[in-house]
Structure 1
Amino acid sequence: MTFANLSGGRDSTAMVVRYLELGGEIDYILFCDTHYEFPQMLEYIDKLESYLLEKFNQKITRLRSEEDLLSKWAFEYPITKGERKGKLRGLPKTIGMDYCTRELKANPSRKFIKSKSANTFKNTILIGYTYNEVENGRTSSLDYGIAKYPLHQWQWNETEVENYLRQKGIANPLYQHFERTGCFCCPKQSKKSLYTLYRFYPKEWEKCKQMEAKAKELGCLNATFKPNLSCIELEAQFKRNPTMDFTSAYTEDMVCFCR
């Protein structure tokens, strides 16, 4: 069976649409709703599904847990081994894959795929890594299927992806504000991205502040979205200098494993 990971970001979206356009068959297109999606992302997924149904008679399978697993792992489930045993994790780390990606993306996909086809070697998993990403060593080792990277096969990078989506009229409007998409509370966001969140998405920004406040109150290991820099401190900076220069620290987004 063939499964495609779809985040709603441009890379995975272009991969899915072009793959189907070329006559490829996909049994399930998987979108993981983390409970922390932008409302605009969920609207986009609905519109994208309408497009896929019209053009290819293809639906999107939404995976969404009943519980808010990010909050559970951040504030309720303590670490069970090692020198930090008993401590609460708090917010996800800014570097590398953390519990958020594992519990909100990887595990739900893995569970669903294995429920549909338990034979690892008969499953193809389409992943939207670009040509340059794969060339630079970014690959996925999976125990539930064989990873395939169509964008690499087509030698597509972000320019080709963006041009393709605009040509098809299915570009994600979130890219009008952000260079990358994902959970609104992702700690891998750049400082510029967090400023955009503060300026244009006040409800989501307020939720980030509330998460930091709870992490601090509970004495969590990680209580801020940026190392030693809280949303409250960032907001003060933004208010003092609303046209601030973003060429300093945290300008670039960290590698996001959710795209």
Structure 2
Amino acid sequence: MSASVSQWLCQSSLVASQRCDRLIQLKTVLLRCSQSVKIEIMSKKPVRHILGLSGGKDSTALAVLLHKEIPEMEYFFCDTHKELPETYEYLDRIKARLEIKIHYLAAERGFDHGLDVYGGVLPSPKMRWCTVQMKVRP
């Protein structure tokens, strides 16, 4: 990994709140993915590489690390239509920085419908309906 990428990650406001120790974990993932690419080349069996972006520090760091290793990577974002404006602005910054396209996915019914179905209960670590309905299924 180049020093400029490490420096950008460490100085980024998204990573500033966390220690750069997370990079070690991400490098492990990168190593596994690069091994997967080598296996793909050896087997000549095409593999589609897809990475979900959440707008958070971890998925961003992984996108930055894997971008050079897997240039054909496809990226997606599951949009609840209740994201903060800053999330969309940040995704635009990722697209510009990495020169990638991000596919925006959305559930057929919006967040407000889920809120009605679950009796006005907001998503929480104990009640993860938003993750299932708005992130996993689309």
Is the TM-score greater than 0.5? yes
Amino acid across the alignment from 2:50: F
1:109-130, Cα deviation, whole Å (9 max, x unpaired)? xxxxxxxxxxxxxxxxxxxxxx
Question: In the alignment, which of 17, 24, 28 is matched to residue 74 of structure 2?
Answer: 28
Q: Secondary structure at the match of 2:75?
A: strand
Shift of 1:37: 0.6
Structure 1: how far apart are the matches of 2:137 and 2:53?
15
Structure 2: how far apart are the matches of 1:93 and 1:37?
14
| Contact kept in structure 1, 2:53 and 2:76, CA below 8 Å | yes
Question: In the alignment, which of 22, 40, 62 is matched to residue 104 of structure 2?
Answer: 62
In structure 1, list runs of 5 or more residues that go unmatched. 78-87, 109-259
| Higher relative contact order, chain-length normalized (CA < 8 Å, sep 6+) | 1
1:61-105, Cα deviation, whole Å (9 max, x unpaired)? 11134642x211221x3xxxxxxxxxx532235333521110111
1:199-214 alignment runs, 5 A limit: none
Runs of 4+ in 1 over 6 A off after TM superposition: none
Q: Secondary structure at the match of 1:92?
A: coil
Match of 1:72 in 2: 113
Structure 2: how far apart are the matches of 1:71 and 1:65?
11
- Percent pairwise identity: 33
Highest CA radius of gyration, 1 or 2?
A: 1
1:84-233 alignment runs, 5 A limit: 88-96=118-126, 98-108=128-138
* TM-score between the two structures when normalised by the length of structure 2: 0.58
Q: Which has the higher helix share?
A: 2
Q: How many residues align?
A: 91
